Amino acid sequence: MKASFVLVNYNRKDEVLITIAKSLELVKNNLNDYEIVIVDNASTDGSAAAINSTYPDVVLIENKVNTGAPAWNLGFEKAKGDYFIIIDDDSHIESGLEEALVYLDKNKDVGVLALNVVSGPYTSKMWDWKDGQDIVGFIGCGAILRRETYEKVGGYADWMFLYVNEWEYGLRVIDAGYKVRFFANSVVQHRASAVNRTSKRFRVYVTKHELGIVYKHFSYKRWNYLFRVVVNNLKTLGKGDFKYAWWNILGMFEFLKAKKHLKYTPVSKDAQDKFANTYLTTQNSAFGFLFKKN
């Protein structure tokens, strides 16, 4: 099988039905080359029943508990395609899918192809990515993962419930010798449902996971970089945004609770540098002198 759409749904019944319909419409001329694999993350809104009754050919995995982003791994394990098309329950590929898959066929060194997300809270344009640019993280509502890469690297980190998991994954993909590359000609629409989105949860998880990535994977000057992430997350205090600063501090406490369970798995210096020079809170802080080369 050429490719598998793999997505996770949590209490977005109406949105996931739209996503299925748009995905089937996109590949209607080559249906035998594709499948749709959905992990329902213990939804309570009748999502699973609606998917089963409306689209019985969809491969549905009913997760007993909401495990967040790691639920994608259940879909990856079940998927039969040579490529895994990663989308959200509220996103869909509008155009350029076949072109993206042909590109991957020709570029075996690309492990993850980041597609062009043009709508929603986070877009490719916000990162100023250029077509063909090698990047580190990707936007999780629109990307294609090579099966071979998944089999070598594994899936999303099981310690990251939501947010920043794509950057952690991209770091491991690069460390394994693959590239993460932006492909502008495949367009993704992120309809960005308001369901299950809160600013507080976002900030707490992001800060926790930024610190966790550095603590778990950075191979040199790890403690300096941890300090850098802390400082950059506290800059909101200088802007008078005490609410966001407090949420970031809560994320730091969550990291401290989690770090004793994180096994140290350092990546190469090259992979670390690519991440550190790209990700916002690992870039230069007000205390940049701590990072000058000896």
| pLDDT tens track for 25-83 | 999 999 999 999 999 999 999 999 999 999 999 999 999 999 999 999 999 999 999 99
Query: Is-above-0.75 flag for pTM?
Result: yes
Give, in order, the Cα–Cα distances in Å from 133 to each of 37, 102, 158, 187: 29, 17, 28, 16
Judged against a pLDDT cut of 60, whether residue 105 lies above it is answered with yes
As a whole number, mean pLDDT of residues 219-246 equals 87
Range with lowest mean pLDDT among 166-175, 241-250, 283-292: 283-292
The closest of 213, 79, 192, 194 to 146, measured between CA atoms, is: 79
DSSP string, the chain: --EEEEEEESS-HHHHHHHHHHHHHHTGGGGGGEEEEEEEES-SSSHHHHHHHH-TTSEEEEESS---GGGHHHHHHH--SSEEEEE-TTEEEEE-HHHHHHHHHH-TTEEEEEEEE-SSSS-TGGGT--TT-EES---TTEEEEEHHHHHHH-SS-TT--SSSHHHHHHHHHHHTT-EEEEEEEEEEEE---STT--HHHHHHHHHHHHHHHHHHH--SSHHHHHHHHHHHHTGGGGGT-HHHHHHHHHHHHHHHHHGGGPPP----HHHHHHHHTTSGGGS--TTGGGGS--
Burial 260-288 (b: 16+ CB within 10 A, else e): eebeeeebeeebbebbbebbebbeebeee
Res. 254 pLDDT band, cuts 50 70 90:
very high
Closest CA to 155 of 267, 6, 275: 6
pLDDT recorded at residue 289: 40
| pLDDT above 50 for 292 | no
